[in-house]
Amino acid sequence: MDQMNKFDPGVPVAIGYKFKNNIGVSLRVKPGINDITKYGDEKDCNFQVGLGVTYSLNLKK
């Protein structure tokens, strides 16, 4: 960890879809902006991918 930068901001991008039966799916991608290595000629960046499933409750008052 001493040879890595601890601060790595990213730009999240997400897309989702809700089906008629209250179920939804989503995909989120967040590529890192900064080089996380402190030393050397290599450039490494973080890259996160998230998948989600949702269920909506219809609570009527």
pTM: 0.68
Cα-Cα-Cα-Cα dihedral of 33, 9, 3, 39, to 10°?
30
Report phi then psi at 4, rounded to 5: -125, 145
In the prediction, which pLDDT does 12 show? 92
> Tens digit of pLDDT for each residue in 6-61?
777 888 999 999 999 899 999 999 998 888 787 777 778 888 999 999 999 988 87
In the prediction, which pLDDT does 1 show? 65
